[in-house]
């Protein structure tokens, strides 16, 4: 799992039948300091994450297969919309 920021949506004229009721979002993976980590990716969302939101993305395809069926090609799924992130301080206290 990793944190990502939603940058927009993807519209597909044609898609796998198991994904008919899903939204596709453009997500930018985040480093621990909140900066962009790599190239944007497309994730599946059924939670309704808005553009600009920080989300928790699962890379475990079992979540998608459980909800969408064993034949779904989806793997990256939004599993949470993040309200806040707390980073541990330099002394090792706090929580992530």
pLDDT in tens, 54-89: 999 999 989 999 999 999 999 999 999 999 988 777
Distance, in Å, from the CA atom of 18 to the CA atom of 28, rounded to the nearest integer, reads: 24
For residue 83, the model assigns a pLDDT of 94
Are 33 and 68 in contact by the 8 Å Cβ rule? The answer is no
pLDDT tens figures, 18-48: 998 899 999 999 998 889 998 999 999 999 9
Question: For residues 93 and 8, which has the higher predicted lDDT (pLDDT)?
Answer: 8
CA-based torsion, 9, 15, 43, 46: positive or negative: positive
Distance between CA 4 and CA 29 in Å, rounded? 4
Query: Partners of 56 in the beta sheet?
Result: 3, 80
Judge whether 85 and 54 are in contact, CB under 8 Å.
yes
> What average pLDDT does this structure show over 4-18?
95
Domains of the chain: 2-81 (2.40.50.220)
- Give the pair of three-digit tokens for residue 34: 């909140």
């Amino acid at each position: 799992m990793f944190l990502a920021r939603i940058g927009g949506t993807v519209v597909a004229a044609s898609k796998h039948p198991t994904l008919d009721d899903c939204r596709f979002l453009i997500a930018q993976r985040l480093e621990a300091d909140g900066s962009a980590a790599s190239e944007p990716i497309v994730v599946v969302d059924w939670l309704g994450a808005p553009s600009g939101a920080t989300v928790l993305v699962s890379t475990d395809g079992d979540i998608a297969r459980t909800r969408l069926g064993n034949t779904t090609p989806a793997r990256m799924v939004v599993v949470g919309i993040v309200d806040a992130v707390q980073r541990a301080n330099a002394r090792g206290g706090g929580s992530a």
